[in-house]
Structure 1
Amino acid sequence: MVDAGRGTRRVTAPGGSAGGALSFRIGARTLAAIPRELVRIGLSLDEALAGHGPVLPALDARQDGWFVTSLPDAAAIAAPGIGYVRQRYRRYYVDLAAGEVAWRAGLSGQARSGMKRKAKKLAAANGGALDIRRYRTPAEMAAFHPLARAVAATTYQERLLGSALPGDAAFVEEMRERAAVDAARGWLLFLGDAPVAYLWGAGEGDSLRYDYVGHDPSFGELSPGSVLMEAALTDLFADRFARFDFTEGEGQHKRTLATGSVACRDVLLLRRTLANRAALAGLAGFERAVTAAKRWTQVPGVAALARRARR
């Protein structure tokens, strides 16, 4: 996997933001990185569903190119430069306007029974009832943040990906500003007196985004993240948003809970320089090698041999 920067937070076209690097990654592990100044443009779910590409802003002299996320497969993008598709995926969402009954009916029987079982197990561990708290106003967001950060500090998103809920004052102010215009929601799940899972999302148009999520791994056997996700969606069916946006990338839980999706790709567009051509050639070669290695480990007997070699 090639990463063009930190996390999956979004910048709506046409403005964009600069920063990032071309990182050589295997899973969550970064092996090397090539510094590049990129204008990052993240299409909203509404834009992806509309099927149109963004108008790219002009680059200044210090910028190397653009990184466009959630570009719908149906859309072309006109820009001078060298193009490289970083990844293809389906961007999943839940149609909240269809209602909770329709959503639950669309889930598999296995998913419904699993959700019920997990909620019952966690409630039993908490004295017979779930303790889920909701946060919406600016004052509530100020109370939410330190509690959620305490959970975020324990998560793999913090340790491995650097994509847990930010802890800086600027982000807290952003949370409060969004809440002031009814464009943010937060949830915490408590076990006893301590929070063990959090979810926070910002509103974008008619959608609420799946921006930051995590749970304390010490309580992983109780599936607090899954239980909190179901509770948040249940709340949102009675809220003002039309969709819950699972944002970029795929995952089993997204496929399980979603009611729809749009085929998307993340695209790097770099200036036509020798250095950029070499960088993209290196990325492409690295990804081909990683893909080949993954396929090779699936050959019967090879996986067992690899496990023995690691011992």
Structure 2
Amino acid sequence: MSASEIALPLQMGAHTIWTLRRRLVPYRLSLAEALAADLPRLVPLARRDDGYLITSVPAAWRAGLIALHPELRAFIRQRYWRRYARLDLAFDDYWAGLSAKGRSTLKRKSRKLAVRSGGVLAISCHRTPEEIRAFHAAAREVSKLSYQERLLDAGLPDGPDALADMCALASRDAVRAWLLHLDGRAIAYLYAPADGDVLLYAHLGYDPAHATLSPGSVLQIEAMRQLMAEDRFRFFDFTEGDGQHKRQFATDGIDCVDLLLVRPTLSNLFVTSILGGFDGFLAAAKRLLAASGGESRIRSLLR
């Protein structure tokens, strides 16, 4: 683990207003590490390094981690719930744990898609290198249409190197991927590489022409059904950040922060003051918009 120039964007919705850069040692806690009781051990900083960027730090650890490094200044970039789902449950128990409204919506959407597909949902699971190649070709066509790729630059990776990495994981039985088909072509994909016995929510996308059918949600619940029947993995990690989809399908969560620990130089303190001022302004604006009922309108304009 070594330092590199890391972008610290000032973002409003999906739009980046400005990007600051610092030479930081990145450290992303895995779900297993976040669930453990031990604080992460950080490598010593090199002379020209500015500090560390540690993501998915359980909020309960923050004070202890800061106390281990009193020579550094701490700054919280964001706070969120890291959602995950247990896969050692019987699917019926998992299903019963979803909200009544969520179950009703998923049943209705699944039934509608099944009727369109001739009576059953057309879902394929891909795990071998050959299957992953077929998945990648079909999923890339969906990704090109998805808002994840067009607006968030978060589509399924393309190119021979990305495909080679996926196939390498498949050769070790360290990936699961799914496609949802309609009228003979894929309309949604879900790609989940493995970290030990944890599957990571890496890429989900769908054709916006079928958005009213909630194809991403239908595909997610069927993937969960298959994973619980397979009993190969322990957790499905929805990773950093929060959102309605993650809240709907998770069984548990960890209150987390992204933590900057930086040397108290003038340039570092200047950068963190800008970050803090911008994040504080956004938080205040969101509270004001929520009180006035305008937050949903602004969010739609930012997409």
State the TM-score, normalized to the length of structure 2: 0.90
State the alpha-carbon separation in 2 of the partners of residues 50 and 104 from structure 1.
27
State the shift of 1:134 in Å. Answer: 0.7
Contact 1:148 1:165 in 2 (8 A): yes
2:237 counterpart of 1:251: no
Q: Secondary structure at the match of 1:298?
A: helix
Q: Report 1:285-300 matches (<5 A).
A: 285-300=277-292
Count of residue pairs brought into register by the alignment: 292
State the alpha-carbon separation in 2 of the partners of residues 120 and 16 from structure 1.
50
Give 1:168's aligned amino acid. G
State the alpha-carbon separation in 1 of the partners of residues 160 and 193 from structure 2.
17
Deviations 1:182-237 (A, max 9, x none): 11010011111221111001111221111111111111011110110011101100
Partner of 1:9 in structure 2? none
Deviations 1:144-203 (A, max 9, x none): 112111111222221222222111322212111111111101001111122111100111
Q: CA, structure 1 residues 16+149, in 2 after alignment: closer, same or farther (shift >3 Å)? A: farther
- Aligned residues: CA RMSD: 2.1
Q: Report 1:1-311 matches (<5 A).
A: 15=1, 18-61=4-47, 63-75=49-61, 76-77=64-65, 78-79=68-69, 80-239=71-230, 240-300=232-292, 303=294
Give 1:286's aligned amino acid. F
Q: Secondary structure at the match of 1:247?
A: coil
State the shift of 1:31 in Å. Answer: 0.5
State the shift of 1:62 in Å. Answer: 5.0
Q: CA, structure 1 residues 51+170, in 2 after alignment: closer, same or farther (shift >3 Å)? A: farther
Deviates more, 1:218-227 or 1:247-256: 247-256
Q: CA, structure 1 residues 37+191, in 2 after alignment: closer, same or farther (shift >3 Å)? A: farther
Give 1:137's aligned amino acid. T
Q: Secondary structure at the match of 2:105?
A: helix
Q: CA, structure 1 residues 149+65, in 2 after alignment: closer, same or farther (shift >3 Å)? A: farther
Q: Secondary structure at the match of 1:129?
A: coil
State the shift of 1:23 in Å. Answer: 0.7
Contact 2:5 2:24 in 1 (8 A): yes
Contact 1:207 1:244 in 2 (8 A): yes
State the alpha-carbon separation in 2 of the partners of residues 40 and 162 from structure 1.
21
State the shift of 1:116 in Å. Answer: 0.7
Q: Whose RCO is larger (CA < 8 A, sep 6+)?
A: 2
State the shift of 1:16 in Å. Answer: 6.3
Contact 1:51 1:72 in 2 (8 A): no
Identity of aligned residues (%): 43
Q: Secondary structure at the match of 2:60?
A: coil
State the alpha-carbon separation in 2 of the partners of residues 70 and 16 from structure 1.
19
Partner of 1:7 in structure 2? none
State the alpha-carbon separation in 2 of the partners of residues 167 and 84 from structure 1.
35
Q: Which runs of 5+ in 2 are unaligned?
A: none
State the shift of 1:57 in Å. Answer: 2.1
Q: CA, structure 1 residues 168+19, in 2 after alignment: closer, same or farther (shift >3 Å)? A: farther
State the shift of 1:39 in Å. Answer: 2.5
Deviations 1:50-92 (A, max 9, x none): 1433211233455432211111122232334222111112211
State the shift of 1:99 in Å. Answer: 1.8
Q: Secondary structure at the match of 2:77?
A: strand
Q: Secondary structure at the match of 1:97?
A: coil
Contact 2:3 2:49 in 1 (8 A): no
Q: Which runs of 5+ in 1 are unaligned?
A: 1-14
State the alpha-carbon separation in 2 of the partners of residues 151 and 145 from structure 1.
10
Contact 1:23 1:33 in 2 (8 A): yes
State the TM-score, normalized to the length of structure 1: 0.87
State the shift of 1:19 in Å. Answer: 4.4
Give 1:186's aligned amino acid. A
